[in-house]
Amino acid sequence: MQNNNQLKFWKWAVLLLAVLNVCLLASIWLKQNGQSHDEMHRPPNGERAADFLLEQLKFSEQQMAAFEKLKEGHRHAMDSLREASKETHRLFFDNLKNEKQDTAKVNELARSIANNQTQIELVTFNHFKQVRKLCDEKQKAKFDEIIQEVLRRMARPGPSPPKQKE
């Protein structure tokens, strides 16, 4: 009788462990394919970069208003370019499905991706050129000192990597 109870206990224990393993694997998979709770509530990288820039430059109210207009224009332009990039990448990689590749089409899509990236870089460059024009002389010096850090913050999600020695 006791042997039968022990067997039931171990069956339930194994079943419980199996269910817990499935739950653990599902949560890991969902976090990798989606956003974690922290990521959903974390501002986009550009926001953190903008906060850092504003903290360092100490803009006046008038400068802040002008900066907000520039930032909104930049965000709108970047959103359009990112959407175009996603679609072009989708079309580009859809060509993998074809057994016989249309090399001209693949090359044209690759050029479109490169052109889009060029536009992204130019929009960002011109945005920061306009931001720098908002600055007084002291702020321009600070801007020049921190712009690489701002760009790094815009580009990399997640925690900052350790700084390299110069």
Q: Following DSSP, what letter does each residue of 93-131 receive, concatenated?
A: HHGGG-SS--HHHHHHHHHHHHHHHHHHHHHHHHHHHHH
| Residue 97 neighbours by CB distance under 10 Å | 6
Total-model pTM: 0.63
pLDDT score at 31: 63
Domain-wise residue ranges, the chain: 2-38, 43-155
Q: Which CATH number applies to 43-155? A: 1.20.120
Tell me: the pLDDT tens digits for 33-56? 554 444 444 444 455 888 888 999
For 2-13, write each residue's pLDDT tens digit: 778 888 888 887
Across residues 16-36, what is the average pLDDT? 65
Under the banding of pLDDT at 50, 70 and 90, the label for residue 166 is very low
